[in-house]
């Protein structure tokens, strides 16, 4: 696992584009003096490239057996697409490296069409990685874990782009015993860079 330059560049992008100070109510209902909207970064062309490269590298390091990568719509959507694409680009120059296919978990089952909860890659007993952009209490990540399990897949790792370190990791580890939990950054990492950027502006 290398990507030192890529990690630094992505951290600076998240701080510049996605981190805001103020009074916010989070999806969990908790109050916070800051908000991180990672989608602004993960949907950015360069942010998307970097997030995909880094997560694909983490999958090769911590879950090399993974066949799929997925998460709960819509925070995880760009991460899933970016990561799956990054594994395909890597595969071109490293043919022995496996492709990791994407899947998305709906918040609720469809009431029309196929009625599927999981869209994209679904394979019985396949080892998969769940990704999320921001982990606070872990609720949305656990929803994705449970849906992947219900679809017959085996969650071997959970990766969070930014961990707010507010109990999410413990909740996630309880929902996926034995799965590796990996965060790319903590919220404090992002805050520190944001404050540094503000001072130098």
Q: Write out pLDDT tens, residues 99-123.
A: 999 999 998 776 565 668 999 999 9
Q: Is 116 annotated as a binding residue?
A: no
Q: Is 110 annotated as a binding residue?
A: yes
Q: Is 18 annotated as a binding residue?
A: no
136-163 pLDDT tens trace: 999 999 999 999 999 999 999 999 999 9
Model confidence at 7, in pLDDT bands (50, 70, 90)?
very high
Model confidence at 191, in pLDDT bands (50, 70, 90)?
very high
Q: How far is CA 168 from CA 96, 97, 163, 181, 182, in A?
A: 35, 31, 8, 10, 12
Q: Is 47 annotated as a binding residue?
A: no
Q: Is 164 annotated as a binding residue?
A: yes
**Contacts (Cβ under 8 Å, ≥6 apart) of 97:** 60, 87, 90, 91
- Tell me the CATH number of domain 4-200, given options 3.90.1150.10, 3.40.30.10, 3.40.50.2020, 3.40.190.10: 3.40.50.2020
Residue 166, class by beta-carbon neighbours within 10 Å (0-12 exposed, 13-18 middle, 19+ buried)? middle
* Domain ranges within the chain, ordered by starting residue: 4-200
> How long, in residues, is the chain?
201
Q: Is 22 annotated as a binding residue?
A: no
Element (H, E) at 19: strand 19-25
Q: Is 118 annotated as a binding residue?
A: no
38-90 pLDDT tens trace: 999 999 999 999 999 999 999 999 999 999 999 999 999 999 999 999 999 99
Q: At what angle do helices 168-175 and 139-150 cross, to 10 degrees?
A: 10
pTM: 0.94
* pLDDT reported for residue 114: 61
Q: Is 135 annotated as a binding residue?
A: yes
Evaluate whether 88 touches 99 at the Cβ level (below 8 Å): yes
- Report the relative pairing of strands 31-36 and 19-25 from DSSP bridges: antiparallel
* pLDDT reported for residue 2: 56
Looking up tokens 């997925």 gives: 70
The whole-angstrom separation of Cα 96 and Cα 90 is 10
* pLDDT reported for residue 1: 52
73's tokens: 């719509």
The whole-angstrom separation of Cα 122 and Cα 125 is 9
Residue 144, class by beta-carbon neighbours within 10 Å (0-12 exposed, 13-18 middle, 19+ buried)? buried
Q: Is 112 annotated as a binding residue?
A: yes
Q: Is 194 annotated as a binding residue?
A: no
């Amino acid at each position: 696992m290398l990507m030192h330059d890529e990690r630094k560049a992505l951290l600076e992008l998240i701080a510049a584009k996605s981190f805001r100070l103020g009074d916010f109510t989070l999806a969990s209902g908790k109050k916070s003096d800051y908000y991180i909207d990672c989608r602004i970064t993960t949907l950015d062309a360069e942010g998307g490239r970097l997030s995909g490269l880094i997560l694909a590298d983490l999958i090769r390091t911590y879950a090399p057996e993974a066949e799929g990568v997925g998460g709960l719509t819509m925070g995880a959507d760009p991460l899933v697409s970016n990561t799956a694409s990054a594994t395909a680009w890597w595969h071109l120059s490293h043919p022995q490296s496996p492709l990791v296919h994407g899947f998305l978990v709906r918040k609720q089952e469809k009431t029309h069409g196929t009625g599927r909860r999981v869209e994209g890659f679904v394979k019985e007993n396949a080892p998969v990685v769940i990704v999320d952009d921001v982990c606070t209490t872990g609720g949305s990540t656990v929803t994705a874990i449970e849906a992947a399990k219900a679809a017959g897949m085996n969650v071997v790792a959970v990766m969070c782009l930014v961990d707010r370190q507010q109990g999410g990791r413990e909740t996630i580890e309880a929902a996926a015993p034995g799965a590796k939990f990996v965060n790319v950054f903590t919220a404090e990492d992002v805050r520190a860079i944001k404050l540094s950027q503000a001072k130098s502006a």
